[in-house]
């Protein structure tokens, strides 16, 4: 019986020990997320006793600041989706919510400082954060989209820093912070609006990519067959795939890779993708991160809806051909298209996208800085170079001439995605300068018609604006 | 341990009580300085009386040469002081009532250590325990009032009594006496089926009936936490007495079957499990409690926000089931783990007493009440941290509640008495007649 009692004693003590370890786990590993959970009412209580930190753009312009206890968003509806808002009633969204921990100075062991502040009766001041968003690009993108529904995503292909995430229609976060009777049911109206102004189309949209997906189809062919760059195909204006006729916009005659890209020849990309096979196509799409979330495993800086694509075992020949030209069941979000474009710009490597540049304490002392890192290797540098040259040709003499900027080599690709809601969605993806890319951008205008006409000029102006500013160190 | 040196046990106890006294008075002082106490007089007098009572008990025990374990009482005194300090910080009314119950509990302790040192007499009345236990569980179903979702309270006019807190002690007494008599039969078995000895229904029947009745009643009372404590304590005692893992295994399977059945039949059971798996899904309703508890625990960090600096008002039932979350928010991970370690020491001392006991009944009784205490502490601590599904029970000696506090002092008194016997037996204790009877079985 003594042995049995020892077993029991041991069992109970072990249980308590596990409990202690588990508590350490809650505190250390779940702690930061729990502390800034939007449901945690401590946030609001803390808000009352602290001067919330400022959010700056990468140029040092404030995007969100507190004055006389009121939260002000200088860009108003132009950065509403990405910055988010803080409201007692409607919760917390965007970067305001994700970085509550910094803005309210809740992370780290600031216990002693805090105690002194409390005893002295001083108001605590939160930390300031600097984000990668460029307010000029962001505003410009919103102005160019104007009354159209659409989105723009721009990033630095060399680092993954997200420079702009525009989404229209938008909303004014300044109104949501006001007293309830002054709001006139603003939030409820937004929720009921069938154009979904609260949705961040730039990262949560699910759009058929249309011909901009030929970047992926092209990469599939180049990765599968070293000679694909020199392949020639005779385009007859349509092609047979698995018993279906896949139409083309024109009879392009004999085309090679670069020519096919610049005139956006469906027959060429459908043929080379079918030659490479559905497994190769699916694998390449995965290498580009099509169904992955770049923030996987950590708290997402923005709500991100990964793309979707039929699995190879569910894909027949007709589906493969139409997927290769971005129709079929392929869906992407604009930020994702910008990342795919960035892979071409950055010799096949996709940097992990990020929005938080750095964190500074109330007196300016640096607390944190994001180190850019690689996310995926989408393809070989050689493949990326072939696609880049084809994209340069597209802007120089093909469907993307509207994106040309004198004195700069722009690489781009148009897309006009058929969809059940009316006119085609106008797509344009581009990066520049082609020889040393500083910006990759994806533009979509919902039901805007052809990408070359509706979307390319927007991309052009954003690139032009970015290249105006001096090269950053 | 040098038996024979007079009051050696009480001397150790006295040294430990010095620490407890400093802790209690410091706590009271901090509460006053933070403006959380009603008035200087009330808090200082309250703290002084508490400390004085601890010392008085120690002094009385040394006078009567009481040789109970020297660690248990200081531990409990520390739990009780923590309870008073935090209840005062949450709401001084609770602290005042808990203070009265604490004095009552200490009186029970004193009385039992004075009058019940010959606790073997308890082994005679096993069927009375069974009957009283069942009555104690049935009464609330018909005459009880519901508090916090569980219908396990008897309204006695000026206070309400949670009978299940006392029934759990009766359960242990029943099991200890029953198993002392039938231990060998249950261990060896009287029939053999395929080489494995099996006991007959006469031997295990009463056990299963007692267990089944208590569980069914608890399901009707919707008091799942208490049911879980009863059941796991039952398994612990059976294992201690028979050492047969197969009983624990069968018991575990029966429990899983019962849990599965109640999962599909009872909405409140299903809800508990769903909340455990994902409280965020039901954050606005059922998951609210445990989410708030986790927020509080995380808000504490390593060293805690400091007493008075947390936000316990966001935690529902913070003075009873969730008091640990409030303590961890203000004393931090360090304070929370310190409390866990103290429960470990309590449990450890309890099992040491069981090992030192000279007869089966004492040993099983010590195992039973120690397991009861340990399991109850573990179940509620694991519940508020979402390690296990939450089942509302009190944290022994710390949660607000008179029935629970007094019942826990009865447990303490029994343990101390067994320990007193262990430490006396070698030189002077006359072998009780009953023990030789029991050994003969």
pLDDT tens, chain A, 473 aa long: 788 889 899 999 999 999 999 998 888 888 777 877 777 877 777 777 788 899 999 999 999 998 877 889 999 999 999 999 988 777 788 999 899 888 888 765 555 666 666 556 667 788 999 999 999 999 999 999 999 999 999 999 999 999 999 999 999 999 887 777 777 788 888 888 888 999 999 999 999 999 999 999 999 999 998 888 888 999 988 888 888 888 888 898 999 999 999 999 999 999 999 999 999 999 999 999 999 999 987 788 999 999 999 899 988 888 999 999 998 889 999 999 999 999 999 999 999 999 999 999 888 889 899 999 999 999 999 999 999 999 999 999 999 999 999 999 999 999 999 888 889 999 999 999 999 999 999 999 999 989 889 999 999 999 999 998 876 64
Give the phi and the psi of residue A277 in degrees, each rounded to 5: 95, 160
* Calpha distance A15→B59 (Å, rounded): 36
Q: What is the pLDDT of residue A119?
A: 57
* Calpha distance B191→A137 (Å, rounded): 87
**B142 Cβ partners below 8 Å, 6+ apart?**
none
For residue B166, whether the previous peptide bond is cis, meaning omega lies within 30 degrees of 0, is no
- All domains in chain A, ordered by first residue: 204-355+374-468 (3.40.710.10)
* The token pair that represents B440 in the structure block: 């003969």
Q: What is the pLDDT of residue B89?
A: 87
| Angle in degrees, CA A425, A403, A380, rounded to 5 | 85
Candidate from A1, A26, A41 with C-beta closest to B297: A26
Secondary structure element (H or E) that encloses residue A440, with its range: strand A439-445
Residue A396 burial (10 A CB sphere; 0-12, 13-18, 19+): middle
Locus of tokens 């965007």: A94
User: Helix (H) and strand (E) counts for chain A?
Assistant: 21, 21
* Calpha distance A424→A209 (Å, rounded): 10
Q: Judging by DSSP bridges, how do beta strands A50-51 and A124-125 pair with one another?
A: parallel
Task: Give DSSP secondary structure letters for A396-432.
Answer: HHSTTGGG-BTTB--EEEEEEEEETTEEEEEEEEEEE
> Would you call A13 and B344 a contact, using CB atoms and an 8 Å cutoff?
yes
Q: What is the pLDDT of residue B3?
A: 47
* Calpha distance B372→A16 (Å, rounded): 14
pLDDT score of B190 more than 70: no
DSSP state of A447: T
* Calpha distance A355→A300 (Å, rounded): 10
On whether the CB atoms of residues B378 and A16 are closer than 8 A, the answer is: yes
pLDDT score of B431 more than 50: no
Comparing C-alpha atoms, which of A184, A173, A187 is closest to residue A97?
A173
For residue A169, whether the previous peptide bond is cis, meaning omega lies within 30 degrees of 0, is yes
Task: Give DSSP secondary structure letters for B28-53.
Answer: HHHHHHTT-SS-HHHHHHHHHHHHHH
A295 to A300, A304, A341: CA distances (angstroms) = 5, 8, 19
Q: What is the pLDDT of residue B307?
A: 80
* Calpha distance B351→A6 (Å, rounded): 8
Beta-ladder partners of A51: A125
Alpha-carbon gap: A402 to the closest alpha carbon of chain B (Å): 49
* Calpha distance A298→A148 (Å, rounded): 34
On whether the CB atoms of residues A127 and A367 are closer than 8 A, the answer is: yes
Task: Give DSSP secondary structure letters for A60-122.
Answer: S-EEEEEETTEEE-TTGGGSHHHH--EETTTEE-HHHHHTHHHHTT-SS--HHHHHHHHHHTP
Q: Half-sphere exposure of A68 toward its Cβ, with a 13 Å CA cutoff?
A: 0
- Tens-digit pLDDT profile for residues B377-422: 999 999 888 888 887 788 999 999 888 999 999 999 999 999 998 8
Candidate from A8, A42, A115 with C-beta closest to B240: A8
Locus of tokens 């580009």: A288
The predicted model gives B78-104 an average pLDDT of 91
pLDDT score of B34 more than 90: no
On whether the CB atoms of residues B412 and B419 are closer than 8 A, the answer is: no
Q: Judge whether A347 counts as a catalytic residue.
A: no
Q: Between these two residues, B66 and A133, which has the higher pLDDT value?
A: A133
pLDDT score of B192 more than 70: no
Q: What is the pLDDT of residue B300?
A: 81
pLDDT score of B434 more than 50: no
Query: What CA dihedral angle connects B298, B302, B305 and B307, to 10 degrees?
Result: 110
- CB-CB neighbors (< 8 A) of B240 in chain A: 1, 4-5, 8
- CB-CB neighbors (< 8 A) of B239 in chain A: 4, 7-8
* Calpha distance B294→A37 (Å, rounded): 11
Alpha-carbon gap: A358 to the closest alpha carbon of chain B (Å): 24
For residue B153, the Cα-to-chain-centroid distance in whole angstroms is: 18
Comparing C-alpha atoms, which of A261, A436, A412, A262 is closest to residue A346?
A436
pLDDT score of B4 more than 70: no
Q: B350: nearest CA in chain A?
A: A9
Q: How many CB pairs under 8 A join A and B?
A: 118
Interface of A with B (CB under 8 A): 1-9, 12-13, 15-20, 22-24, 26-27, 30-31, 34-35, 37, 39-42, 45, 109, 111, 115, 118
3-class SS at B216? helix
> In percent, how much of chain B has pLDDT > 90?
28
- CB-CB neighbors (< 8 A) of A26 in chain B: 294, 297-298, 385
- CB-CB neighbors (< 8 A) of A16 in chain B: 340, 343-344, 347, 374, 377-378
The predicted model gives B267-278 an average pLDDT of 77
pLDDT band at B374 (very low <50, low <70, confident <90, very high): very high
Q: Judging by DSSP bridges, how do beta strands A50-51 and B144-147 pair with one another?
A: unpaired
Helix B163-188 × helix B402-425 angle, to 10°:
40
On whether the CB atoms of residues A157 and A431 are closer than 8 A, the answer is: yes
Give the phi and the psi of residue A161 in degrees, each rounded to 5: -65, 125
* Calpha distance A378→A277 (Å, rounded): 18
Q: Between these two residues, B6 and A288, which has the higher pLDDT value?
A: A288
Terminal Cα distance for chain B, rounded: 32
Among the options A139, A167, A211, A262, which is catalytic? A211
On whether the CB atoms of residues A295 and A301 are closer than 8 A, the answer is: yes
Alpha-carbon gap: A108 to the closest alpha carbon of chain B (Å): 9
B381-390 b/e (C-beta count within 10 Å ≥ 16 → b): bbbbbbbbbb
Residue A435 burial (10 A CB sphere; 0-12, 13-18, 19+): exposed
**A262 Cβ partners below 8 Å, 6+ apart?**
A390, A393, A394, A396, A397, A398, A399, A400
Q: Which of B188, B238, B240, B247 to mutate to test the interface with A (most CBs of A within 10 A)?
A: B240
On whether the CB atoms of residues A445 and A392 are closer than 8 A, the answer is: no
pLDDT band at B91 (very low <50, low <70, confident <90, very high): confident
Candidate from A23, A31, A45 with C-beta closest to B385: A23
* Calpha distance A349→A342 (Å, rounded): 8
3-class SS at B145? strand
Q: What is the pLDDT of residue B214?
A: 62
Secondary structure element (H or E) that encloses residue A129, with its range: strand A128-131
Q: What is the pLDDT of residue A364?
A: 84
On whether the CB atoms of residues A190 and A80 are closer than 8 A, the answer is: no
B189 to A92, B183, B197: CA distances (angstroms) = 65, 10, 4
Alpha-carbon gap: A200 to the closest alpha carbon of chain B (Å): 23
- CB-CB neighbors (< 8 A) of A104 in chain B: none
């Amino acid at each position: 019986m003594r042995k049995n009692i020892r077993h029991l004693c041991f069992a109970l003590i072990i249980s308590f020990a596990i409990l202690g370890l588990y508590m350490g786990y809650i505190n250390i590993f779940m702690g930061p997320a729990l502390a800034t959970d939007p449901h945690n009412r401590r946030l609001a209580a803390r808000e009352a006793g602290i001067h919330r930190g400022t959010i700056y753009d990468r140029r040092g312009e404030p995007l969100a600041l507190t004055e006389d206890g009121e939260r002000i968003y200088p860009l108003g509806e132009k950065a509403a989706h990405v910055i988010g808002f803080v409201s007692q009633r409607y919760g917390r969204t965007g970067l305001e919510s994700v970085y509550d921990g910094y803005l309210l100075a809740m992370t780290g062991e600031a216990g002693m400082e805090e105690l002194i502040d409390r005893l002295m009766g001083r108001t605590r001041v939160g930390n300031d954060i600097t984000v990668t968003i460029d307010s000029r690009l962001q505003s410009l993108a919103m102005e160019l989209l104007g009354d159209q529904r659409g989105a723009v995503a721009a990033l630095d292909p060399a680092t993954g820093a997200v420079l702009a995430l525009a989404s229209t229609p938008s909303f004014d976060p300044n109104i949501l912070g006001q007293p309830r009777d002054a709001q006139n049911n603003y939030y409820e109206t937004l929720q009921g609006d069938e154009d979904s102004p609260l949705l961040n189309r730039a990262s949560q949209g699910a759009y058929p990519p249309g011909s901009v997906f030929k970047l992926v189809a092209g990469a599939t062919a180049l990765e599968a067959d070293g000679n694909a760059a020199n392949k020639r195909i005779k385009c007859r204006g349509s092609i047979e795939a698995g018993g279906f006729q896949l139409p083309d916009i024109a009879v392009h005659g004999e085309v090679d890779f670069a020519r096919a890209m610049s005139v956006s020849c469906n027959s060429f990309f459908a043929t080379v993708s079918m030659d490479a096979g559905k497994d190769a196509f699916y694998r390449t799409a995965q290498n580009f991160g099509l169904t992955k979330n770049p923030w996987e495993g950590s708290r997402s800086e923005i709500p991100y809806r990964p793309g979707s694509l039929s699995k190879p075992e569910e894909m027949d020949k007709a589906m493969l051909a139409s997927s290769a030209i971005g129709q079929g069941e392929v869906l992407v979000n604009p930020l994702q298209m910008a990342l795919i474009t960035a892979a071409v710009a950055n010799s096949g490597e996709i940097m992990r996208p990020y929005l938080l540049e750095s964190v500074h304490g109330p007196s300016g002392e640096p607390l944190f800085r994001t180190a850019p890192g690689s996310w995926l290797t989408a393809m070989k540098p050689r493949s990326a170079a072939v696609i880049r040259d084809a994209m340069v040709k597209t802007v120089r003499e093909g469907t993307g001439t509207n994106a040309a900027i004198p004195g700069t080599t722009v690489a781009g690709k148009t897309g006009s995605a058929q969809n059940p809601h009316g006119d085609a969605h106008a797509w344009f993806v581009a990066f520049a300068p082609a020889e040393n890319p500083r910006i990759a951008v994806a533009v979509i205008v919902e039901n805007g018609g052809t990408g070359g006409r509706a979307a390319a000029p927007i991309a052009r102006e954003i690139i032009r604006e970015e290249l105006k500013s001096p090269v950053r160190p | 341990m040098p038996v024979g040196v007079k009051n050696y046990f009480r001397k150790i106890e006295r040294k430990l009580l010095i620490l407890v006294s400093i802790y209690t008075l410091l706590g009271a002082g901090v509460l006053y300085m933070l403006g959380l106490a009603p008035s200087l007089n009330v808090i200082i007098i309250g703290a002084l009386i508490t400390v004085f009572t601890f010392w008085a008990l120690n002094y009385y025990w040394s006078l009567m040469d009481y040789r109970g374990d020297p660690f248990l009482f200081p531990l409990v005194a520390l739990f009780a002081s923590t309870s008073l300090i935090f209840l005062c910080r949450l709401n001084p009314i609770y602290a005042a009532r808990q203070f009265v119950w604490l004095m009552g509990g200490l009186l029970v302790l004193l009385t039992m250590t004075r009058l019940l040192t010959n606790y073997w007499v308890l082994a005679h009345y096993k069927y009375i325990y069974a009957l009283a236990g069942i009555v104690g569980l049935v009464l609330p179903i018909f005459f009880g009032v519901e508090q916090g979702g569980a219908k396990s309270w008897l309204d006695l006019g000026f206070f309400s009594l949670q009978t299940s807190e006392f029934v759990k002690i009766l359960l242990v007494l029943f099991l200890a006496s029953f198993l002392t008599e039938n231990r060998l039969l249950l261990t060896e078995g009287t029939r053999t089926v395929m080489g494995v000895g099996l006991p007959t229904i006469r031997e295990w029947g009463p056990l299963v009936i007692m267990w089944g009745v208590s569980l069914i009643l608890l399901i009707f009372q919707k008091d799942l936490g208490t049911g879980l404590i009863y059941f796991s304590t039952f398994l612990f005692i059976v294992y201690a007495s028979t050492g047969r893992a197969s009983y624990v295994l069968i018991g575990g399977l029966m429990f899983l079957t019962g849990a599965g059945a109640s999962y599909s039949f009872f909405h409140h059971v299903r809800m508990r499990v769903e909340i455990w798996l994902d409280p965020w899904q039901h954050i606005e309703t059922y998951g609210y409690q445990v989410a708030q508890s986790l927020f509080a625990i995380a808000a504490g960090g390593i060293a805690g926000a400091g007493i008075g600096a947390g936000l316990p008002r966001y935690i529902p039932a913070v003075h009873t089931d969730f008091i640990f979350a409030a303590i961890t928010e203000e004393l931090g991970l360090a304070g929370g783990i310190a409390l866990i370690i103290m429960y470990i020491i309590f449990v450890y001392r309890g099992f040491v007493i069981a090992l030192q006991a000279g007869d089966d009944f004492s040993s099983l009784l010590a195992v039973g009440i120690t397991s009861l205490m340990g399991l109850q502490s573990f179940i509620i601590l694991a519940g508020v941290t979402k390690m296990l599904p939450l089942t509302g029970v009190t944290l022994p000696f710390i949660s607000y509640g008179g029935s629970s506090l007094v019942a826990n002092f009865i447990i303490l008194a029994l343990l101390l008495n067994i320990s007193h016997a262990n430490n006396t037996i070698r030189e002077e204790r006359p072998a009780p007649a009953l023990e030789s009877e029991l050994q003969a079985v």
